[in-house]
Amino acid sequence: MQIGTIIREIREAQKATLEEIALAAGTNPSNLSRIERGVQGYSADTLAKIANALGVTVSQLHQRAESTELDPATEIHRISHRLAALTPENRELVDDFITLLLRRQGT
């Protein structure tokens, strides 16, 4: 998993805004957003400041990023958050797709 995704998950779990974490890290919200989405790189210094703003260490960010096993609760929270942003019609499409995947794997 990418570091940016981990940063976003931690920030959202803390119910912190981009603005709050960016301010605490000495960057601007648009930079933090691009880092979270993986479209902008970051220096070691910037990563350390973001980690500090989140109350974690850089090592903890890397450990979570390197973990191949995703925490189901975190994954469900992330998916739920994304589903809530969809229209009712698109949520129905997602449900249909999940049904198709379950049939495909024999569940």
Residues 6+ apart with CB under 8 A from 85: none
Q: What is the pLDDT of residues 27-69, one digit of tens each?
A: 999 999 999 999 999 999 999 999 999 999 999 999 888 874 5
Same domain, 91 and 53: no
Shared domain check, 27 and 47: yes
Rounded to two decimals, what is the model's pTM?
Answer: 0.64
Q: Which has the minimum average pLDDT: 14-18, 22-26, 69-73? A: 69-73
Residue where the block lists tokens 């260490």 = 57
Radius of gyration of the chain (CA): 16
- Containing structural domain, residue 41: 3-66
The single-letter DSSP state of residue 2 is: -
Select the more confidently predicted residue: 72 or 63.
63
C-alpha 101/C-alpha 13 separation (Å) is 28
Rounded distance, CA 91 to CA 33, Å?
A: 25
Look at the chain and report how many structural domains it folds into: 2
Res 14: pLDDT: 96
Are 11 and 38 members of one domain?
yes
